Amino acid sequence: RYFSVTRPLTYRAKRTTKRAMTMICLAWSISIILWAPAILFWQYIVGERTVQPNECYIQFLSEPIITFCTAIAAFYLPVTIMAILFWKIYQETEKRAKEVQGLKGSGA
């Protein structure tokens, strides 16, 4: 959305299937690289399985630093980025609305 609003003339030319697939694969790759080792190998890192056989939860979330870092990476950072981009979109649309009003006011 940000690029479609701030760079409307070049956005359509750059929006290709290949680029979309690349971005999707990149997002999944980053997630797998960051999460898979902790989920799959935490019991080996700690040295034992900390979850009881009849329970189901993520072992490493009992570590405060890991819980903090995952909350930042998975929630707060993306929300902050989205809020900033939506604010920039809002500013751009306001700027364009004023330009259109200026054109109407000048009789063009």
Average pLDDT over residues 6-10: 83
Percent of the chain residues past pLDDT 70, beyond the cut = 97
Longest dimension (CA), the chain: 77
Q: CA-to-CA distance for 44 and 35, rounded, in angstroms?
A: 15
pLDDT of 23 reads: 92
What is the length of the chain? 108
CATH class of 2-105: mainly alpha
57-78 pLDDT, tens per residue?
777 777 888 888 888 988 999 9
pTM for the model? 0.66
Mean pLDDT of the residues in the chain: 85
Q: CA-to-CA distance for 10 and 4, rounded, in angstroms?
A: 8
Q: CA-to-CA distance for 44 and 25, rounded, in angstroms?
A: 28
pLDDT of 79 reads: 96
